[in-house]
Amino acid sequence: MMLPVSEITRPACGGRTEARMPGGACQFSFDCPLCGRVLRREPGDCCVFCSCGTVPSPPVRSGAGCGN
């Protein structure tokens, strides 16, 4: 069973927060609730969870990839 939650660490403020991941899609940006900045995926990564999260996105974990 894949957990739909990942802890995101934001480089701008160093804050960490748990975020619910979309089930069958990649999420390209995330609004930081601490500093208000928008976190975007790193070049070469499919989403913010693969760039800054403790758990990759569900499509990547399932082996389907993100389609980017």
Q: DSSP string of 35-57?
A: T-PEEEPPTT-SSHHHHHBSS--
The answer to whether residue 29 sits within a structural domain is: yes
pLDDT at residue 64 greater than cutoff 90 = no
The answer to whether residue 38 sits within a structural domain is: yes
Containing structural domain, residue 26: 5-61
Lowest mean pLDDT among 11-25, 38-52, 54-68: 54-68
Give percent of the chain with pLDDT exceeding 70: 90
The answer to whether residue 67 sits within a structural domain is: no
Question: pLDDT tens digit string along 40-52?
Answer: 999 988 889 889 9
Number of domains the chain is built from: 1
The answer to whether residue 66 sits within a structural domain is: no
23: helix, coil or strand?
coil
Find out whether 51 and 42 touch, Cβ atoms under 8 Å: yes
The answer to whether residue 68 sits within a structural domain is: no
pLDDT at residue 8 greater than cutoff 60 = yes
pLDDT at residue 1 greater than cutoff 70 = no
